[in-house]
Every structure is written in C-alpha cells, then in structure tokens.
C-alpha cells in the first residue's frame, strides 16, 4: 500500500486569475486549488521548494495529503500539476478533496517480481511488460503502491493476465476484461524455433 498520509501546510488565496497567480509565484509560492467533495473550490498557495521536492520525489499523484489551511485540515490527493517548460519548476497544482469512504480513479504501476527464477528467462526469453500501469478504482485511504506480477514458474510464450494476480482489497480495474499484463517471449520475439530437420542421405 501507499505510504502514510503526508502533512502539507498551505495558505488560503483570496483571488484567482493569472495576475494573482503571478503575484503568488513572485513570492516564491505555488498557486493551487482544492476542489470536489460537494464543496466550492478553494484557492491555496504552497511553498515553492516544498512543492517541487514532493513532485520530483515520485508517486506524487498517488500520495494522500492532509493539508492544513489556516489551522484547519482537509484530506486531498493531487490530480494534476503544471511545470514551467523551460525551468521545470511547478506552476500550478490541482488537488481533489476526499471524503471518508470515497473511491477514486488512479493509475497503479505494475511491478514484475522474480524474473531471475522464471524458467523462460533462464532459457533466454525476454520479459515483455504489456501494461506498465493499470487504471483502477481504489479506496482513497488505501491506494496501492503497485500491482505485483510474480514470474516464478513462468516459461516462454506464457502470459499473466489481470485475473491471474491477487488484487488489493477493495481495488478493481476500470477495464473489466481479462487483459494481459506481462508475457515472457522468445529472444526473437516469436515462438520457439523448431529443431532443425535431419539431413537427407546423399544419393549414390
């Protein structure tokens, strides 16, 4: 599962718009907004250095935050962010407000385990990851950090599908089909080559 809820301090913003956002950035802060949950959007601002560290630490869009705004706390998850195309610094962050028992859509990464014990890999096969992540409906307070695909005992030309793995409790893929996650393929990318035919005896 994902790590513990992270604490984040923010300041309320009275105004929206491009001019107000530029003023926030000049103060070394990042404009952001918290929306959803049946309440009006709330403009906020975050410390620029702290926001940048959180974004580039990884898993930002699947991390739960408890955001403190002027002494009041509310739980939210990042839904999107914008980076400066030149400086690569954050320009804006969108947070989705979360309520108790709520389920949300997230992309959960696929992790492959025990490649070294796969008979197919030992025979020279290659691991083909068909889906690097899966869009899932998950509990907001229990977002899985990954879907683990175990290759122990998997030979060449065998595949593992979504219904072959144990899903975290309360988590379901949005796609209801039994789609392929990982395949072990022959080194050429095709099937095993047949053994060469015996040479025909020479004619006298």
Residues 6+ away with beta carbon under 8 Å from 46: 8, 9, 10, 29, 30, 32, 93
Count CB atoms within 10 A of the CB of residue 126.
Answer: 14
CA distance 120 to 66: 45
When mean pLDDT is compared over 80-84, 142-146, 184-188, the highest value belongs to 80-84
When mean pLDDT is compared over 21-35, 150-164, 182-196, the highest value belongs to 150-164
Of 97, 112, 143, which residue constitutes the final position of a domain?
97
Average pLDDT of the chain is 88
- Among 6-15, 116-125, 137-146, 188-197, which is the least confidently predicted range? 188-197
Please tell me whether residues 65 and 142 are part of one structural domain.
Answer: no
Over residues 84-91, mean pLDDT? 91
Please tell me whether residues 180 and 114 are part of one structural domain.
Answer: yes
Residue 202 included in any domain: no
Say if residue 148's pLDDT is above 80: yes
Residues 6+ away with beta carbon under 8 Å from 132: 109, 110
What is the extent of the structural domain holding 63? 6-97
Please tell me whether residues 14 and 29 are part of one structural domain.
Answer: yes
Of 97, 123, 158, which residue constitutes the final position of a domain?
97
Q: How would residue 124 be classed by pLDDT, with cut points 50, 70 and 90?
A: very high
pLDDT at 16: 67
Q: How would residue 78 be classed by pLDDT, with cut points 50, 70 and 90?
A: very high
What's the CATH code of the domain at 40?
2.40.240.10
Over residues 52-56, mean pLDDT? 94
Q: How would residue 140 be classed by pLDDT, with cut points 50, 70 and 90?
A: confident
């Amino acid at each position: 599962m994902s790590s513990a809820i992270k604490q984040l301090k923010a300041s309320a913003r009275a105004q929206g718009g491009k001019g107000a956002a530029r003023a926030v950035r000049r103060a070394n802060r990042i404009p952001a907004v918290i929306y959803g949950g049946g309440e009006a959007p709330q403009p906020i601002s975050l410390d620029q250095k702290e926001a940048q560290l959180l974004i580039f630490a990884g898993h930002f869009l699947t991390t739960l935050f408890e955001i403190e705004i002027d002494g009041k706390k509310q739980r939210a998850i990042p839904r999107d962010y914008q980076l400066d195309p030149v400086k690569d610094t954050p320009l804006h962050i969108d947070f989705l407000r979360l309520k108790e028992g709520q389920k949300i859509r997230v992309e959960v990464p696929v992790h492959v385990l025990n490649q070294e014990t796969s008979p197919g890999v030992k025979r020279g096969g290659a691991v083909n990851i068909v889906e690097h992540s899966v869009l899932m409906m998950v509990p907001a307070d229990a977002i899985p950090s990954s879907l683990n695909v175990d290759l122990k005992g998997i030979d060449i030309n065998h595949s593992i599908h979504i219904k072959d793995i144990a899903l975290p409790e309360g988590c379901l893929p949005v796609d209801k089909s039994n789609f392929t996650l990982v395949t072990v393929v022959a080194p050429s990318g095709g099937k095993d080559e047949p053994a060469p035919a015996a040479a025909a005896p020479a004619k006298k």
